Amino acid sequence: MNVSIVGTGYVGLTTGALLAAAGNKVYCIDIDSTKIKKIKNGTAPFYEPYLDKFIKEGLKHKNLIPTTSYREAIPKSEIALICVGTPSKGDGSVDLTYINQAVRTIGKHMKNDLVLVQKSTVPVGTGRKIERILKNGNRKDRFHVTSCPEFLSEGSAILDTLNISRLVIGGDSKKAKDAVIRLFKSLDEYSKKVDLQKFSKYANIYRKSTKDFNKTPYEDRVLSVSLESAELIKVTANAFLTMKISFANSIARICDKVGADINEVMEGIGMDDRIGKSFLHAGLGWGGGCFPKDAAGLIYSSEEVGFDFKLLKAVVDINNSQILYFVRKVQEIFNGKLEGKTITILGLSFKPGTSDVRISPAIKLVNNLARRQAKVKVYDPEAMNEAKTEIFESVYFSSSTDDALKNSDLAILTTDWPEFVDLDFKKVKSKFETPNLLDGRNKWPKEKVTKLGYNYHGIGR
């Protein structure tokens, strides 16, 4: 099929590169010419494992056409996917400026019967607004608005796009929905020809093992619903996941008081398949470009319809207080005196497998400790550049993990990158001034490191 995708972020570019690999002709449109130039040169404007390889292949086979021109792309496309950013405004509401701009420009260039697929995360009701914008554009052409929310996670975007958990498709027109179902079936067919295991490195970090690829037939993973339901499914899924994490973090605080181990407690409840094992990992809390914005957006939309979403507000409050809870742990380790202590921060991205530092719990912790006059040294395998503008000037940017650990009084695991989780504790111990460990992701082997002479601190362990 001939497809246009507007927006070259994690969702747009991954979907575009993979749809191209699956044999479709894909125009990836972005108004940012610097991004398009990078993509034309074969690299994504952000770090996502394996994505560059698919971009290069798409360019080589001329199936992937990066462009800043709607005029070049839209008239040739049967389907147009909107994958632009929907940032949060100060009051929690969602800023739809980029969506509105994209829809107006698509409207100017579209041909009859264009199927518009809304993939950006938006408040419920946005699809109907899009229909109004297109109608008011004074065009006689027919068009069909659908909503097909995205569920991929950064770091495992390739696997999640090829091996979708479900295809939720909302809209009024069966014909339009069928076209979208057909488009994504091409990805499913392509996925059977590649070794999916290869793309799963960061997929299993917070989820149960994803070894059983493609077990459920594609058709059984398709859910056809109304436009409004599709929009609400997306934000509800994210809200539910944040609730699971904040729940685990709350129980972890009880564990800290009563001597139970949160990892054991969550393992124990997760064995009940009504609860499930995924997203119950206690730690520094949740961040990123999606969860915080989507939780705030759903609280805002609820208020608009007269519902006070107290449960979700509590989920957010618990997460916001998580950093201070860790700062208190650091203070306890140093008997209240942080000034002059050398603290190593391992990880800056909001989670492993990405260079994304948006609302990263690690960055919040770094700045809080730096404000308290600690000597903070940071290291991250991918996010050093991205973090530079977010972090206090006094913070030292280390050249490697070893450099970050030199003369350290405390190392904190802030992002569970495999290379930090699997540190050679025996080897690196001599680098420490005082061998204190604070495990912000509950991933370090408590017993082993204690035997090696470290003072281990976690959350709820």
Active-site residues: which are they? 290
Beta pairing partners, 93: none
Binding segment (CB under 6 A) for ligand UGA, from list 30-38, 110-118, 146-154, 379-387 = 146-154
Shortest gap between Cβ of 285 and ligand UGA (angstroms)? 6
Beta pairing partners, 455: 436
Say whether residue 144 binds ligand UGA (CB under 6 A).
no
Please return the burial class of 310, using the count of CB atoms within 10 Å of its CB with bins 0-12, 13-18 and 19+: exposed
Q: Mind giving me the DSSP string for 355-378?
A: ---TT-HHHHHHHHHHHTT-EEEE
Give the DSSP H/E element, type plus range, for residue 435.
none
Binding segment (CB under 6 A) for ligand UGA, from list 60-68, 81-89, 256-264, 286-294 = 286-294
Euclidean distance between CA atoms 120 and 144, whole angstroms: 17
Shortest gap between Cβ of 445 and ligand UGA (angstroms)? 19
Strands 396-397 and 436-439: unpaired
Q: In the structure encoding, which two tokens stand for residue 81, read together?
A: 């996917």
Euclidean distance between CA atoms 415 and 83, whole angstroms: 27
Q: Give the contact letters, 232-251, x = binds to ligand UGA (CB under 6 A), - = no.
A: ------x--x---x------
The CA-to-CA distance between both ends of the chain, in Å, stands at 53
Binding segment (CB under 6 A) for ligand UGA, from list 15-23, 139-147, 150-158, 326-334 = 150-158
Distances (CA, A) of 444 to 77, 346, 353, 391, 416: 50, 12, 18, 26, 9
Task: Select 171 or 361, whichever has its Cβ closest to ligand UGA.
Answer: 361
Torsion of CA 293, 294, 296, 299, to 10 degrees: 170
Strand blocks (E) in 33-133:
64-67, 79-82, 114-118
Say whether residue 154 binds ligand UGA (CB under 6 A).
yes
Say whether residue 444 binds ligand UGA (CB under 6 A).
no
Task: Select 99 or 110, whichever has its Cβ closest to ligand UGA.
Answer: 99
Say whether residue 347 binds ligand UGA (CB under 6 A).
no
* Contact yes or no for 82/7 (Cβ under 8 A): yes
Short-list 386, 245, 258, CA closest to 316: 245
Task: Select 319 or 398, whichever has its Cβ closest to ligand UGA.
Answer: 319
Say whether residue 380 binds ligand UGA (CB under 6 A).
no
Shortest gap between Cβ of 154 and ligand UGA (angstroms)? 4
What residues from 206 to 225 belong to the interface with ligand UGA (CB under 6 A)? 206
Give the DSSP H/E element, type plus range, for residue 396.
strand 396-397
Shortest gap between Cβ of 375 and ligand UGA (angstroms)? 26
Task: Select 114 or 162, whichever has its Cβ closest to ligand UGA.
Answer: 162
Exactly one of 19, 29, 290, 299 binds ligand UGA (CB under 6 A); that residue is 290
DSSP code, position 220:
G
Strands 167-171 and 222-225: parallel
Say whether residue 288 binds ligand UGA (CB under 6 A).
yes
Euclidean distance between CA atoms 366 and 394, whole angstroms: 11
Exactly one of 58, 107, 287, 292 binds ligand UGA (CB under 6 A); that residue is 287
Say whether residue 151 binds ligand UGA (CB under 6 A).
yes
Give the DSSP H/E element, type plus range, for residue 148.
none
Say whether residue 283 binds ligand UGA (CB under 6 A).
yes
How far, in whole angstroms, is CA 395 from its chain's centroid? 26
Exactly one of 27, 46, 54, 291 binds ligand UGA (CB under 6 A); that residue is 291
Say whether residue 51 binds ligand UGA (CB under 6 A).
no
Say whether residue 9 binds ligand UGA (CB under 6 A).
no
Task: Select 200 or 342, whichever has its Cβ closest to ligand UGA.
Answer: 200
Task: Select 238 or 408, whichever has its Cβ closest to ligand UGA.
Answer: 238
Task: Select 7 or 285, whichever has its Cβ closest to ligand UGA.
Answer: 285
Which residues are at the interface with ligand UGA (CB under 6 A)?
121, 150-154, 206, 238, 241, 245, 279-281, 283, 285-288, 290-291, 350-351
